[in-house]
Amino acid sequence: MKMLKIYQVDAFADRVFTGNPAAVCVLDQWLPEETMQSIAMENNLAETAFTVLESEGYHIRWFTPEVEVALCGHATLATAFVLFNYYDFPGTVITFSSERSGLLSVEKGKDDLLTLDFPVDTLKEIAPVAQLNEALGIVPEKTLKGKTDYLLIYAEEQQIRDIEPNFSLLNKVDARGVIVSAPGKEVDFVSRFFAPQSGVSEDPVTGSAHTTLTPYWSAVLNKNILSARQLSKRGGNLSCELRGSRVRISGHAVPYFEGQIHL
């Protein structure tokens, strides 16, 4: 029987039971894809991250309970936390490579603040999507489409709080997920993220969604450094900075448990 170390970390959180939980497995070599998918399904978290140290640095992959995804922010943050705190990573910047998203990095700063450096999403405004409007029960002011997600813009924070999606309808939308967003009362913007198509009805705090949200709100508010809050039940706060074709997304992480998988 093979024993595999596993960690669970709450990302974009300063205390347990908040932010977004992710599982992290640091491997000596890659497991079969079906095994990694089975582990993610067994964990039943929004994402499980797997990373392997290769000759050019760490390679990373992310799995929901149902599919492998192209990019995941909170699980990358959690992976960096594990490498810094349990694997004695010697520097302050960890560079990850992803076949689907290119080079990514996480920097450890003052007071253990972790900052993701991700590629910016490309956005295009499109006509309203009737299926989305029906599933969410409210018509947005704008509908935009990024590489993998829809972004729906509303007028007020309370509208975002009040949305109760029809997930059976939302599950039929052809996208990784759906971001809903509005100006915030105490922060620059607020959001929620729904991804039943990927096996996650509502994601607590979605780092990758902020590669879409940051360029949009940066243009609207005419500022490059923004404060953000994801209004899920667990909730999470993020600091975002647009730097040309990259987005820097900062937050803290806290450990929940470490254990072993029996394979």
> CA–CA separation, 224 vs 85, rounded Å?
31
174: exposed, middle or buried (C-beta count within 10 Å: 0-12, 13-18, 19+)?
exposed
**What gap in Å lies between CA 249 and CA 256, rounded to an integer?**
22
Six token digits for residue 184: 């915030």
The token duo for 74 is 């909170």
Catalytic residue list? 47
**CB-based contacts of 249, cutoff 8 Å, min separation 6:** 73, 115, 116, 118, 207, 210, 211, 214, 238, 239, 240, 241
Return the DSSP state at 135. H
* Helix segments in the chain, DSSP class H: 33-43, 73-86, 130-136, 157-162, 167-170, 210-221
